[in-house]
Amino acid sequence: MSYKPLEYLKQFEYLGKRLLDNGTLLIGKAPHIAPQAWLHSIHSPLTNLQIKELEEKMQTAIPDDYKDFLKITNGLKVFNTTFTLDGLRKNFKRGIGDVWQPFNIITPNTLERPKNAGKKFFFIGGYDWDGSLLYIDSATNHVHLCEREDATSLYDWKNFEQMLESEINRLVKLFDKEGKELNPDESTLPV
């Protein structure tokens, strides 16, 4: 599986890039958000052992497409937190270097699942516009968008790679060359 969409984020490298000690790649300084903000963060990959430990903690299997993604990047944040894909959060410290971690994939798959979430729904991320979530239906391999408290599908993609490519391409068009939203009052959701 290729992740060409991650390459699209590199068009913002002219605003700066930084590789942290923990392997996180930060792309595009964003002082319009905060003095130390970055547009995109791509987290260092997980090992097979870390993925297995993550599955044990969640007591569920991670869909193969998402396992492959975690081996390339342990989650990411696009345009700050406009669109996020979750991963293994390695600590919960509050130091400046510790903030550059993915959102914890364990939480939406254990403690904060929508009431009507099917057993085969594996939550992978979401949007900060309204807290909408993304999940993979392990039975079909489709990726679905749903509300925070209701797993009823509002939109779906045929697989993870299609979702990732279409969403990054769509989102890049909603921001200018500095990473500022063209219309902050407009929804950043695909629907």
Query: pLDDT averaged over consecutive 10-residue blocks of the chain (191 residues)?
Result: 72 95 93 94 95 95 96 95 94 64 93 93 97 97 97 97 95 96 95 90
CATH of residue 39's domain is: 3.40.1580.10
Assess if residue 159 is contained within a domain: yes
Inside any domain, residue 186: no
Residue 191 lies in a domain: no
Element (H, E) at 65: helix 64-70
pLDDT of residue 89: 86
Q: At a CB cut-off of 8 Å and minimum separation 6, what does 31 contact?
A: 37
Q: Are strands 17-19 and 155-157 parallel, antiparallel or unpaired?
A: unpaired
- Contact yes or no for 78/171 (Cβ under 8 A): yes
Residue 101: the pLDDT is 86
Domain of residue 159, residue span: 4-172
Q: How many domains does the chain have?
A: 1
CA 140 to chain centre: 21
User: What is the predicted pLDDT for the residue at 1?
Assistant: 43
